[in-house]
Structure 1
């Protein structure tokens, strides 16, 4: 629904709609592979689809998380830019947004490549299952434990470059955004923008605190322990944080709802089973009624003026 609204139902392609379409696309590509993950757990955590599909599932999982972080960062910066520079040229901003989204996907494709360079499936003796990126007991393995050097350095790099730096950028952008709203001269419009910005800030903060902060911290801790040959006693918490990381796909629609008026209207009309033609007829009727009331009001005021003059 979000992709349909942002790509086909939004008449003017604003930079925010482009960033949100990018975010929705990342969620869609992640959800496509979710049935394999569901079947894996229903099968007693026994992966029967081979090493290549396991690598694809893992890369799309982390690709979604890091692409979501970068897209939310760009959306936050863009919201500040709109408030601080309302007269900036729309066409240039839109072209910049498209270029940034293309760069994000190129970066994600490049940075998820290392996830294909080592095996994620592990054959266990007891129980007799094959796990996919889901191993806590090292001593029960039937094959030599693979090197954790690559994932250790990989997740440390991603935690700093694709998590910590965007977090700092988002915090700075929101501080500047609130300051710019506070300095606005139009009180009514400023109050409306301030309330919507506060809701956006709270939604993004909840997304980061619940989905991204715990998972990125535990990824660094988990692979640091494996690198030093220490079994992670908090492995269940580590797995739980990865499950919470998937929750960002459920929280992203709230970002669409509070940022995009087109998305809000489309959701409302969909829930009320209104077609696009019905909505257009309602809009025309409302505009006609509004114009009729204005003309009657102006006629009445003119009559009163003539009467008072007489």
Structure 2
């Protein structure tokens, strides 16, 4: 028997032993050694397949190419062009900032997957990348929930939209940031960077050490439940209440316009949840339930694909700003037309003066005609 056959036989023996002990890494039978982790042949196939080395980095390239300029422009518009702040604009500015903070780290993810899932940037950067990924996901969900509740409140209780609501929006935004960044702390407490000895690569968050399984499973099951299911229910209740309130006054043109805006918002958010958040969080819960139970998980490829698709929210969020905020649309158009804020204000004043002048001329003409008729 050759040395190569001996090594293959030893690998199979170790994997069988790991399977008997129910030590599973990301749903695959594995065993932990002093040098790292030995994963199964199925795990090796997934980690070296075109799914992870071609498809995932292509998706991340799309996210970076579209998300970086779109969210950078959105942050700039909300901070420097929108003079009169509203609660919804405050939430959208925070949402754009959360997306931007994630997108700037995406090139590391692209390089990692193109490098055959071999992480060469150190444990610290790996933990930062993972923390920013999940912080972006749950910040996005919570800020979208805040926007949904605010839109519901503006439709159902329009007379209570006072300037002091900005203080509530700022306080809620600060709370979201503090809570989300606090709950990402556990991601720094266990190894995200793992040496896979039988692939000769160092993975980042793609493999969990068997000794860290309970900590990771407990954390992600909690996040999947509280960070996704609860906000989703709040959004659904807000949209149902909004549509019911608008349905009762469809004869009013203003109400009809609000209803159209509400429907566009609902459709946009619905697409985002269907494509980005729902598959990834459902698979997250299923994956870690299987991991804790010791059952073989053959859906790992689908699981990491849904996590990748979750990052597409950074490209969809700007559509939320565009459809909800009329000020945002106007400022985007003026930006692309290279109009300064002073020029826009001057045009607005001129348009208002022209409009008032036309009204005045119409009134004078009508008065003269009346007097002529009386004579």
TM-score by structure 2 length?
0.78
CA shift in 2, pair 1:200/1:89, >3 Å = closer
2:283 and 2:189 mapped to 1: Cα distance? 22
CA shift in 2, pair 1:256/1:134, >3 Å = same
Equivalent residues in 2 for 1:7-86, closer than 5 Å: 7-86=79-158
User: 1:265 aligns to what?
Assistant: 330
Helix, strand or coil at the partner of 1:60: helix
Give the alignment partner of residue 202 of structure 1, picking from 263, 267, 280.
267
CA shift in 2, pair 1:150/1:71, >3 Å = same
Cα shift at 1:231: 4.0
Contact 1:73 1:169 in 2 (8 A): yes
2:226 and 2:197 mapped to 1: Cα distance? 38
User: 1:214 aligns to what?
Assistant: 279
1:31 and 1:170 mapped to 2: Cα distance? 25
Q: Which runs of 5+ in 1 are unaligned?
A: 139-143
2:343 and 2:79 mapped to 1: Cα distance? 21
Superimposed CA distance per residue, residues 54-113 of structure 1 (whole angstroms, 9 cap, x where no aligned partner): 111101100000011010001100001011111115222111111111111111021111
Contact 1:67 1:105 in 2 (8 A): yes
Contact 2:250 2:256 in 1 (8 A): no
Give the alignment partner of residue 93 of structure 1, picking from 165, 174, 196.
165
Equivalent residues in 2 for 1:152-163, closer than 5 Å: 152-163=217-228
- Structure index of larger Rg: 2
Equivalent residues in 2 for 1:63-212, closer than 5 Å: 63-135=135-207, 145-184=210-249, 187-212=252-277
Contact 1:14 1:90 in 2 (8 A): no
1:146 and 1:43 mapped to 2: Cα distance? 27
1:72 and 1:212 mapped to 2: Cα distance? 12
Deviates more, 1:212-221 or 1:174-183: 174-183
Helix, strand or coil at the partner of 1:220: helix
Contact 2:77 2:332 in 1 (8 A): no
Cα shift at 1:229: 3.2
Cα shift at 1:234: 1.4
1:177 and 1:247 mapped to 2: Cα distance? 27
Contact 1:211 1:244 in 2 (8 A): yes
Helix, strand or coil at the partner of 1:123: strand
Q: Give me the CA root mean square deviation.
A: 1.6
User: 1:141 aligns to what?
Assistant: none
Helix, strand or coil at the partner of 1:22: helix
Helix, strand or coil at the partner of 1:131: strand
Superimposed CA distance per residue, residues 204-241 of structure 1 (whole angstroms, 9 cap, x where no aligned partner): 11111110000001111222222233442111111110
Helix, strand or coil at the partner of 2:147: helix
Helix, strand or coil at the partner of 2:120: coil
